[in-house]
């Protein structure tokens, strides 16, 4: 009965689940069962190893060289195989994190299984990179081709023309236009000798030459976009998409070994992506009213679902969602200005929290405010900005960025301040770090301009962090707050759930998973 229990347990976990009944029976008969009390050293770094160890119950901690944490393993997980495969002493020190029961499989049995079972051998492949590649290959095999082309292809796959069409910066606009017409291209790279210095598109010729009445005898450098952003040919297509969204551009020169090998455009990405990701950004930017912005952002959940289904990592998804959110803020604000008239003085729309960190998720509420220049006078200017803020937050709410429960929105007069006033506001939190100030720091210290005079927010951010860096007491408070976050792990490493009236028992990944990491990063 004990052998059947061992066999039944190990058969639940990879790679033992790939073994035949005969192989499982052989492993079960060879297993030695050992018990280790919490805090006991199981294997020391540099020690010879003769076992593949499988955790039956409890948990173990692996430290590389006995110092640097490598992994923590629980029920059904294995350790000790790298040294068996290499036939070298162990690199990890293994300690019992809890009282542990281990199934220990002798080295000869492990070697025989690897020799006879390809799946078993592949699982324990010593090359971690190869294991990652195998995981990607398995993901590719289970994901639709159209989605995989977008996620895993590199920009090099989009370069079909090996010739770079270019002009020199001293060439005339007429010469540049003739080159574009002869080569039938809509984009021209501008060089100074062998160095890329700019880019010109059909749109530049329409807007900056014909529309502006500029002479075509002028140098092409007078209408080019200088210092264009470039990307390596090995960069994934999805990364290029995000760069275009974030910089509001439609063309990217692609380099290989530091040399430009071609240009990719938004249309190239659209054709390869086969989804509505770029269309959402275009619809938001081209919206004629706030309702049109809302109709465009309604497409966001479907686009995100497609990205997740295609295996896109959380960082890229967060950046994509944040790019759309930033554009929605900017477009609704621009439409409101068009209705109310130009602002009476320079200002910036500042975003706080997840949007500022470019890690916004679906369903996020809005956290924003206005930062004004030094000439701001509340009595004279606030009626305009109050109306502007109301249109902004109402439009964002309709677009899915719901009202902030804590009223951290530009429609709240407390969130409309001059640069000096904002600086003094932060100074009070830093010099008097009471619980409310610490709570505010978790929201307001993450800030980024999404429209208007970006320099106002950059100045505020620089001054605030300079003050915070010099105040050790404030730093100790926010560090202590980050360290005291309740991590949702129970005594037996099980996840602790919260009860929600509507959803039942749930795990809040934002407050219990992401927030502690963000708080620690902010403290550093």
Q: How far apart are CA 367 and CA 410, in angstroms?
A: 8
Using CA atoms, how far apart are residues 388 and 333, in angstroms rounded to an integer? 7
**What pLDDT is recorded for position 245?**
75
What integer pLDDT is reported at residue 125 of this predicted model?
A: 67
Torsions phi, psi for 348 (to 5 deg): -135, 145
The whole-angstrom separation of Cα 372 and Cα 89 is 64
Residue 188 region by backbone torsions, left for phi larger than 0, else alpha for psi between -120 and 50, else beta = beta
Question: From CA 202, how far away is CA 208, in angstroms rounded?
Answer: 10
**pLDDT tens for residues 251-294?**
899 998 889 998 988 767 765 655 456 678 878 888 899 999 99
Question: In this structure, what token pair is assigned to residue 417?
Answer: 């301040």
Show the beta-strand stretches assigned E in 83-183: 92-96, 100-106, 166-168
What sign does the CA torsion over 476, 482, 485, 488 have?
negative
Token pair belonging to 428: 């009070």
Tokens at residue 317, please? Answer: 């998804």
**Residue 491: what pLDDT?**
63
In angstroms, rounded to a whole number, what is the distance separating the alpha carbons of residues 335 and 391?
9
Would you state the pLDDT for residue 94?
A: 93
**In which residue ranges of the chain is pLDDT below 50?**
127-129, 131-132, 135, 143-146, 148, 275
pLDDT of residue 268: 73
């Amino acid at each position: 009965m004990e052998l059947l229990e061992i066999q039944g347990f190990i058969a639940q976990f990879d790679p033992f689940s790939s073994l035949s009944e005969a192989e499982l029976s052989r492993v079960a008969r060879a297993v030695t069962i050992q018990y280790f009390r919490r805090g006991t050293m199981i294997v020391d770094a540099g020690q010879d190893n003769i076992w593949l160890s499988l955790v039956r119950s409890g948990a173990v901690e692996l430290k590389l060289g006995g110092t640097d944490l490598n992994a923590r393993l629980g029920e059904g997980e294995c350790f000790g195989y790298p040294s068996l495969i290499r036939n070298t002493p162990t690199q990890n020190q293994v300690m019992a994190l809890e009282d542990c029961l281990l199934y220990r499989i002798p080295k000869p049995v492990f070697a025989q299984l690897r020799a006879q079972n390809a799946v078993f051998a592949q699982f324990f492949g010593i090359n971690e990179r190869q294991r990652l590649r195998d995981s990607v290959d398995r993901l590719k095999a289970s994901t639709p081709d159209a989605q995989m082309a977008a996620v895993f292809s590199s920009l090099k796959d989009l370069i079909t023309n090996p010739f770079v069409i270019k002009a020199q910066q001293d060439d005339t606009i007429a010469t540049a236009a003739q080159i574009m017409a002869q080569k039938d291209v809509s984009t021209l790279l501008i060089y100074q000798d062998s160095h890329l210095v700019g880019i010109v598109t059909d749109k530049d010729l329409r807007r900056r030459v014909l529309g502006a009445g500029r002479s075509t005898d002028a140098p092409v450098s007078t209408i080019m976009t200088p210092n264009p952003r470039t990307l390596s040919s090995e960069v994934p297509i999805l990364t290029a998409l995000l760069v275009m969204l974030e910089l509001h551009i439609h063309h990217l020169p692609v380099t290989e070994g530091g040399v430009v090998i071609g240009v990719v455009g938004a249309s190239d990405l659209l054709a390869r992506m086969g989804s509505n990701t770029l269309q959402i950004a275009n619809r938001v930017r081209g919206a004629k009213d706030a309702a049109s912005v809302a109709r465009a952002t309604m497409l966001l959940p479907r686009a995100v679902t497609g990205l997740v289904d295609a295996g896109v990592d959380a960082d890229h998804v967060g950046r994509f969602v944040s790019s759309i959110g930033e554009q929605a803020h900017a477009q609704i604000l621009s439409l409101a200005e068009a209705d109310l008239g130009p602002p009476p003085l320079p200002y910036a729309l500042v975003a706080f929290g997840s949007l500022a960190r470019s890690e916004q998720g679906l369903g996020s509420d809005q956290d924003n405010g206005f930062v004004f220049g030094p000439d701001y006078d509340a009595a004279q200017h606030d009626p305009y900005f109050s109306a502007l803020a109301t249109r902004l937050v109402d439009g964002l709410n309709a677009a899915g960025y719901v009202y902030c429960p804590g009223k951290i929105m530009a429609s709240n007069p407390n969130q409309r301040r001059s640069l000096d006033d904002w600086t003094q506001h932060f100074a009070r939190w830093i010099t008097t770090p009471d619980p409310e100030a610490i709570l505010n720091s978790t929201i307001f210290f993450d800030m980024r301009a999404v429209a208007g005079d970006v320099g106002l927010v950059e100045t505020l951010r620089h001054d605030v962090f300079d003050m915070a860096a010099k105040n050790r007491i404030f730093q100790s408070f926010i560090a202590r707050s980050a360290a005291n976050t309740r991590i949702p792990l129970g005594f037996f490493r099980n996840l602790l759930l919260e009860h929600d009236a509507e959803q039942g028992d749930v795990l809040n990944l934002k407050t219990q998973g992401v927030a502690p990491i963000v708080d620690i990063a902010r403290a550093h």
